[in-house]
Structure 1
Amino acid sequence: MKPLVLAMLVAMLAQAALAQDGARDNPLIDGPTWQELRDDFVPSGTDVRDGAALFTVDAPYRANDAATVPVVIRQVDPTVTLRKAQVIIDENPAPMAADLTFGDRMQPVDFELRVRIDQYSNVRVLATTEAGTFMSGRFVKASGGCSAPATKDPTAALASMGQMRLKHFDESDNMSGQRRDAQIMIRHPNYSGLQRDQITQLFVSAHFIDSLEVYQGEELLFSLEGGISVSENPVFRFVYTDNGAPTLTVRAHDTEGNLFEQVLPKSVQS
Structure 2
Amino acid sequence: MKLLVLAFTTALLAAGPPLASEVENPLQPSPLWDDLRASILGTDEEPRIDPSILLLDAPQRADNPALVPVHVTQPDGAPAIAALTLVIDGNPAPVAAEFTFGQALMPLDFEVRVRVDTYSDLRAIATLEDGSKVMAGRYVKASGGCAAPAGKSMDEVRATMGEMRFRKADEEGRSIGTLMIRHPNFSGLQRDQLTLLTIPAEFIQTLAVRQDDAELFTMSAGISISEDPVFRFAYEPGSGPVMVHAADTDGRVWDQSF
Q: TM-score, normalised by structure 2?
A: 0.88
> Contact between 2:161 and 2:183, CA under 8 Å: does it hold in 1?
yes
> Contact between 1:73 and 1:112, CA under 8 Å: does it hold in 2?
yes
Aligned partner of 2:168: which letter? H
For the residue of structure 1 that corresponds to 2:155, the secondary structure is helix
Residue 252 (1) aligns with residue 251 (2): no
Aligned partner of 2:176: which letter? D
Task: Indicate the larger mover: 127-136 or 204-213.
Answer: 127-136
Correspondence for 2:55: 56
Correspondence for 1:168: 168
Correspondence for 1:94: 93
Alpha-carbon shift at residue 47 of structure 1 (Å) = 5.2
Alpha-carbon shift at residue 243 of structure 1 (Å) = 2.0
For the residue of structure 2 that corresponds to 1:54, the secondary structure is coil
Q: Distance in 2 between matches of 1:23 and 1:164?
A: 39
Q: Distance in 2 between matches of 1:86 and 1:59?
A: 16
Q: Distance in 1 between matches of 2:236 and 2:60?
A: 31
Deviations, residues 62-101 of structure 1 (Å, cap 9, x unaligned): 0000000000000125241111110000000000111010
> Contact between 1:24 and 1:61, CA under 8 Å: does it hold in 2?
no
TM-align CA RMSD: 1.7
Alpha-carbon shift at residue 237 of structure 1 (Å) = 0.1
Alpha-carbon shift at residue 158 of structure 1 (Å) = 1.1
1:1-270 equivalences under 5 Å are 25-44=24-43, 46=45, 48-129=47-128, 130=130, 132-170=132-170, 179-245=174-240, 247-264=241-258
Q: 1:84 to 1:103 in 2, by over 3 A?
A: same
For the residue of structure 2 that corresponds to 1:60, the secondary structure is coil
Q: Distance in 2 between matches of 1:25 and 1:106?
A: 27
Alpha-carbon shift at residue 244 of structure 1 (Å) = 2.0
> Contact between 1:111 and 1:236, CA under 8 Å: does it hold in 2?
yes
> Contact between 1:23 and 1:60, CA under 8 Å: does it hold in 2?
no
Deviations, residues 91-138 of structure 1 (Å, cap 9, x unaligned): 000001110100011111100000000010000011111161111100
Question: Unmatched 5+ residue regions in structure 1?
Answer: 1-21, 172-177, 265-270
Alpha-carbon shift at residue 49 of structure 1 (Å) = 1.1
Q: Distance in 2 between matches of 1:204 and 1:67?
A: 16
Q: Using the aligned pairs only, state the percent identity.
A: 44
Matched pairs, number: 236
Q: Distance in 1 between matches of 2:73 and 2:193?
A: 38
Deviations, residues 4-44 of structure 1 (Å, cap 9, x unaligned): xxxxxxxxxxxxxxxxxx99510000021000100111122
Alpha-carbon shift at residue 161 of structure 1 (Å) = 0.5
Question: Unmatched 5+ residue regions in structure 2?
Answer: 1-20
Q: TM-score, normalised by structure 1?
A: 0.84
Q: Distance in 2 between matches of 1:238 and 1:51?
A: 21
Alpha-carbon shift at residue 192 of structure 1 (Å) = 0.3
